[in-house]
Amino acid sequence: MPVKIYNTLTRKKEILKPIEPGHIKLYVCGITSYDYCHIGHARSALAFDMIVRYLRYTGNKVTYVRNFTDIDDKIIARAAEQNSSTEELANRFIDEFYVDMDRLGVDRPTMEPKATEHIQEMIDLIAELIDKDMAYPASGDVYYSVNSFKGYGKLSGRNLEDMQAGARITVNENKTNPMDFVLWKASKPGEPSWESPWGPGRPGWHIECSAMSRKYLGSTFDIHGGGQDLIFPHHENELAQSEGANDKPFVNMWIHHGFVTIRDEKMSKSLGNFLTIRDILDHYHPEVLRFFIFSTHYRNPLDFSEAAMQDAMAGLDRLYNCIAAIDALKAEGLDDAVPLAGDKDRKKIEGLEQRFQKAMDNDFNTAQAQGSLFEAVKVMNKILRQLPENAATADLDLLRSGAATVRKLAAIMGILEEDAASYLAGKKAAMLAKTDISEAEILELIQKRNQARKDKDWALSDQIRDTLLEKEIELKDGPDGTAWSVKRG
RNA sequence: GGCGGCGUAGCCAAGCGGCUAAGGCACUGGUCUGCAAAACCAUGAUUCAGCGGUUCAAAUCCGCUCGCCGCCUCCA
C-alpha cells in the first residue's frame, strides 16, 4: 500500500514515489547547538524517527541526513557570555543533544553533517549563485537576490509584494531589495571566520542546508523536513538557493510538523515557557513522552501539561499490562480444548497490522495507529479474563502472536520496547523511591494485616490498609495473597 | 495588515462525501472482595463552534460570523 504524505509545497496529500525506487532520501534541519533541547526539539526528532522507522518497516531503504548548525549569531553570543570558543560551546551542546536522544531511544540518522565542516561547499554554492547573477557581494557580505528567482514564495504561499507590505525588516543599506537575505556574512573583529573570495566571514544559516543536502543527497531528493516555523524564511530561502543554483527541483515533498504548546502558546526560548527534555525525563519514562507525542498527529499542535502526561502514562500502562499478562501465561495449552476466541475476536487481532498500516499510510497518523493497538488489546484482555486454568492452545497462540504484533508495531513509535514485566517492576520501584516507606515495612504490615484478616478482625485490617494508603501504598487482595502498588498521581 | 491552521462527548484525540462518529483518560454500573483498592468488562456525542449553501447524501465541500493559535524577526 502506498504511503501518502501531506506536502507543504502543494498543500495536498500525495503518494510518496521515491526518485530511486525503494530508496528514500530525507533531509531534516537539526538543531543550532547552543543550549539544552526542549520538548519541541524532542517532537521534531521523534516525529522523523517514527517516519524513518515506518518507511523502513514498509521495505524502503532510507538515507536520513540531519545537520547540526554549529556556527551562527546565537552561538557566538552565548560563547562570548560563557568565555568559551564557539567550537567548544557548539560541541558541548551536541554532546548534550546526544545524551537526550539516547535517553529517548532516537535512532541516529545516516549522516549528521556539521556546518563548520562544509564551509567550502557553501562557498562554492555561493560562487555559483553570483556567477548566475542571483547573488551579489556588498561590503564583505553576500546577498541572495530574491527578485532573481521566479518561484520565490511558493513554499510558504506568499508573494514578495505582500511580504514587503507587512515588512518588519530592519533596514540594511547593503541590500538591493529589503527581502534579500544573507548568504555570507563578513565577520567582525574577534568573531570566528573563514577565508572566502569576499573576505573573511561565515555562512548564512540558509546556505548551510542547501550545501549539505546537495553534497549528501544530490540536487533533487525526496523529502525535506522540519518544524512549521522553518517554512519561512528558512526553507523558502533554501529552496530559492538550491533551485537557483541547480536549475532542478530541490525536493519533491516537504514535511513540517506542528509545535509543542503550553497552555496553547508556542513553547519557545523567547517566551521562556519551555521545558527541557531532561526536565521531563527526570519525571517520566521516555516511552511516556513518546506515547504522548504520538497521541496527536504530527502536524497538529500538541499541548503539553502534567495531566496530558498522566493520561499518556495510564494509556501506556494499559498496553504494558496486557503484554505482561500474556508473557506470564503458562506455556502449555490443551490442543483439543474449545477456543474462547470467536471469529470476530480473531479477526480483530489478526487484522491489527493491516489497520495499523492503513493509519500510518495516511500521512503517519500515529494517533489512529495507537487506537488500533488499543482495539487489539481490548479483545486480548477480554480473552485473558475468561481464560481457564487449562487454556486451549489456539487461544494461547492467538494471544501470543497478537502480543508479538502489538510489540512489533509499537516499536515504530518506540514504545513497548522494554520487557513488560521489567517495565512494570521498574516503574513500581521508581514510584516507591518517592514514598517514605520501604518494601520491607510494607511487607511486614501486609503480613500483620493478613493475620488480622484471618482472625476476621476487620477493624485492625482496615486500619493497616488505611495507614499504608496514607503512605501512597495501595493493597490488592488476590487468590495468591496480597499484592501492593504505589498510588498513581 | 498579509499568509496559514484549528474549533468533534467532562478532558485529550481520530475521522478528509455514504456502514451504528475510532481510541485513550476521567465518571458511572458490573465482575472480584469481609468491605475496599487494583485489574478487567460495560456504558456515553441523534451529533461534530454558529448560520446559510451545494448534494440523493456533509463533521467531512463552499460562503459568512464568532472564538483560539501560528508564521511574516532567531526559533523545532
In DSSP terms, which residues pair with A261 in a beta bridge? A266, A303
Chain B bases closer than 7 A to any CB of the protein? 1-6, 11-15, 22-26, 33-42, 68-76
CB-strand contact A267/B, under 7 Å? yes
CB-strand contact A32/B, under 7 Å? yes
Q: What band does A165 get if pLDDT is binned at 50, 70 and 90?
A: low
- Sign of the dihedral defined by the CA atoms of residues A489, A286, A376, A44, in that order: positive
CB-strand contact A402/B, under 7 Å? no
Euclidean distance between CA atoms A403 and A406, whole angstroms: 5
Q: How far is the CA of A256 from the C1' of B61 (A)?
A: 25
Q: How far is the CA of A61 from the C1' of B55 (A)?
A: 45
Structural domains of chain A in order of their starting residue, each with its CATH number: 4-266 (3.40.50.620), 307-421 (1.20.120.640), 434-486 (no CATH)
Q: Of A116-120, A168-172, A465-469, which range is least confident?
A: A168-172
Predicted local distance difference test score (pLDDT) of residue A339 = 87
CB-strand contact A344/B, under 7 Å? no
A439's grid cell: 518494601
pLDDT tops 70 at residue A167: no
Q: Which residue is nearest to nucleotide B2 (CA to C1')?
A: A162
Q: Of A250-264, A378-392, A397-411, which range is least confident?
A: A378-392
Contact A145, A237 (CB under 8 A): no
CB-strand contact A265/B, under 7 Å? yes
Predicted local distance difference test score (pLDDT) of residue A161 = 81
CB-strand contact A303/B, under 7 Å? yes
Q: Please list, in sequence order, all residues whose beta carbon lies within 8 angstroms of the beta carbon of residue A293, skipping any fewer than 6 positions away.
A: A42, A43, A46, A47, A302
Q: What mean pLDDT, rounded, does chain A reach? A: 92
CB-strand contact A228/B, under 7 Å? yes
Residues 453-482 of chain A with CB under 7 A from strand B are 453, 458, 461-462, 465, 474-478
Q: How far is the CA of A368 from the C1' of B17 (A)?
A: 21
Contact A274, A9 (CB under 8 A): no
CB-strand contact A127/B, under 7 Å? no
| Helix, strand or coil, per DSSP, at residue A124 | helix
CB-strand contact A234/B, under 7 Å? yes
Which residue intervals of A117-276 are DSSP H helices? 119-131, 160-165, 205-217, 236-246
- A221-265 pLDDT per residue, tens: 999 999 999 999 999 999 999 999 999 999 999 999 999 999 889
Task: Provide the total of helices (H) and of strands (E) in chain A, helices listed first.
Answer: 17, 15
The DSSP annotation for A387-437 comes to --SS-BHHHHHHHHHHHHHHHHHHGGGT-S-S-HHHHHHHHHHHHHHTSS-
Q: What band does A334 get if pLDDT is binned at 50, 70 and 90?
A: confident
Which nucleotide has the least CA–C1' distance to A206?
B74
Q: Which residue is nearest to nucleotide B68 (CA to C1')?
A: A264
Euclidean distance between CA atoms A161 and A401, whole angstroms: 60
CA A144 distance to own-chain centroid:
33
Q: What band does A88 get if pLDDT is binned at 50, 70 and 90?
A: very high
CB-strand contact A362/B, under 7 Å? yes
CB-strand contact A374/B, under 7 Å? yes
Nearest 10 degrees: CA dihedral of A167, A171, A177, A181? -90
Q: Of A77-91, A156-170, A266-280, A474-488, which range is least confident?
A: A156-170
